[in-house]
Structure 1
Amino acid sequence: MKSGNTKFLQLFWTVSFAILLSACGVSDNEPKSSMAGEHGAETEIEVEKGPHGGRMLHSGDFSLELSIFETGVPPEFRAWAKNEGRLLTPDEVDLKIKLIRLGNKIDDIGFEPHGDALRGDTVIYEPHSFVVNIIALHKGVTHSWEYDNFEGRTMIEPKVAEALAIGTSVAEAGVIKEIVTVYGKIVGDSERMRDVSARFDGQIKSVAPSIGDTVKKGQLLARVESNESLKIYNINAPISGVITHRNANPGEQTNGRNLFTIMDTSSVWANLSIFPSDRTRVRIGAPVRITTAIGGQVFDGVIDRINVMTEVNQAVTARVVLDNKEGRLLPGSFVSADIEIAMHSVDLAVKRTGLQAFRDFTVVYAKIGDEYEVRMLELGRQDGEWVEVLGGLEPGTRYVSDNSYIIKADIEKSGASHDH
């Protein structure tokens, strides 16, 4: 039944993704043209390049070459103007540009002379995805252009996003847990183990359980005939648990030896090795998340004890008591453990599940209306669930936190992602 459900889900995702791609392949927001040498997607119009590798814009005898320059400086606009084929000096042209970003946020850019070029006075921050509105004034004549320069952007209809389980969250302040990862082993709780021997030495007449059998407190384990009284008496289980050791067979003499060992595995210990570099940071009571080496099962607990004696490898043993009533933890199995050693409040954090790679950046996809667009992140501290954001994302931004790979795939398919 489980296999059938898996196949159904796989089919559902495949069909839904195909619907998504067909729905988003062509839209009114698809870029009509791009800046040559920049990040936008080239689509319908062949972009003419100027001698500086920028985009050429023409208005009668007046022309303007516009390029994003970022050699040794943060990205900024550089422009060169000509009239009737003559290169104009920067002070002959008054140039202004508006960048209209997703969500109707506008960047106003002025220009000042810089050698033979006009240099923009504003850093063009990532993503370089916007509608470019240009106004150039020369000898009382105004020349204007507007074009799309989109990257890392796509549109997905709400019903399609819902069908594909694209989940979103709001970027806000959070707490980053600082952890140290250690390794260890599951062992029996020595406080829940009993060695069973005969009260009076004698001949073993019968033995009931075998190794691995589960017994209840008071259950018969063996019958022994006393060597002194020749009376037969019972040996009963002192606790409930599993028989982990048996050294008793009918006809043998007890001879004062241990006949059975019973382990109550409803509670077990995780013995973790803490090395000297981490010893001062690990405290009793610290939260721990334990993962089994086989199966990847996860259990939560706290540091219960830290031994003061070092092992041969100079590590000390920290103990975590774990509930094991379901019997999922087997003594002797290996585990890894993430121990929380500190908590840091941060001004802005996003879920790790939302992170994707885009060009040379780690990004999340901001959601504005039905459109999604990359946000290049500067990251700080992180834990298993959250990542601190130091830059690239405004607080309160709604971003894709679940199944963000679908957005990435659609952007890559539409060609709205290009090398820097």
Structure 2
Amino acid sequence: MKKISILLFLCGFTLQVFAQFPPKNIATALLCQDAIGLLHIYNKEPKNRSQVEDAFLTGIDLSEYSYEQIDTLCLVVDKSSVLGDYLFKVREYRKNEIINELEKCTVEELVSHAVAYPTRKALINDFINTSILSVLDSLSYKELSYISSYLRDYDIYFSVENKKKDRTYEIQNILQQNVHKYCEEEMVLMESLLFNIEKSVWRYLFGGYKEVAKYYSQIGMIPDDVTTAVEQYRALVRTCISTKDISKKLKTEINQFCNSINKARTNYAQYFGRKNPPKINFVIPELDFSYNVSSDMLVEVGKAREHFVDDRETTKKISNVASVFIGFWATIGKGALDMMAVSNLSDKEVHFREMYMQEVLKEIVIKVERQNLLIKKSIEKQLKQNQNGFINFITN
């Protein structure tokens, strides 16, 4: 009897020790934080359920698990079991957390959440439906379009689409009534374009002419032949004030304007379900910086040089006669006279060249003023004609 009691005691002690140390597969799953693995053991090994429950409830940290991960765990466990009851309650708690957060969201944030978590459709469908319906009448066309673009699979989609149609009719009426005001806004923008074009032309012209003056001043002596001197200056103007460069810049400014107008018109037309509204594309007269001025100032340069030569011959004769009487001092006088003559010639030549440059610039400025006016009238005419086509496109 005593031996039997000892045997039973040893068996109970062995079972108790075994219970304290779970099977290796449970311990491994717990060590790896493998919740799915533990649940599979839970389902396949009924005799170890108690140990799995203890291991899961005390050893698995679900605080960092997402709603989707908890939902996956619920799929592999019986709801009526201990772990099933626990996991389903955790899932419900997470669901309430999500709904509480969504209650603080704007309509756009609700849509963003639905897009970011497509697997939560069943969870948030009713909430989104109720929330958006409560503010549906206050939503703009843009907001309605945003919702319908991303929530096609949600119950709210058809309500949003119907309201969007109502908004479309409202907007169409407003846009048709205000198309002339819209065109007035285009005209305001056109005035800014014309101002920028004129500013660019003048800035380019005077900047280029500054370069002309710089290089021309570095030319020591211009040709004696007037025709050659005129062509020399004309070539310098063509180089420093190239119509190619300014035309390219103006084309860029015009294209930017036209692109912005065409984009705005496309958006305007889309409210009517129409595509390809009349586009604007300006063609402007080519700029021309050529000139035709008198070469009188360059002729004066030649005359000044001739006078200089004549004066030198006279001075030489006077100096030779004077040297007989005053010797060395006459030489000093001759040198001083020569230097003064050269200085006078230099001053005269610079003066006449400056006068010529001013005459050329004045001629170009007058020409550019006319060209700017032509560009302005051309753009105004083209825009008005194009706007008539756009108005007909919208109203008919």
TM-score, normalising length: structure 1: 0.18
**TM-score of the aligned structures, taking structure 2 as reference length:** 0.19
User: Higher relative contact order at CA 8 Å, sep ≥6: structure 1 or structure 2?
Assistant: 1
Higher gyration radius (CA): 2
More helix by share: 2
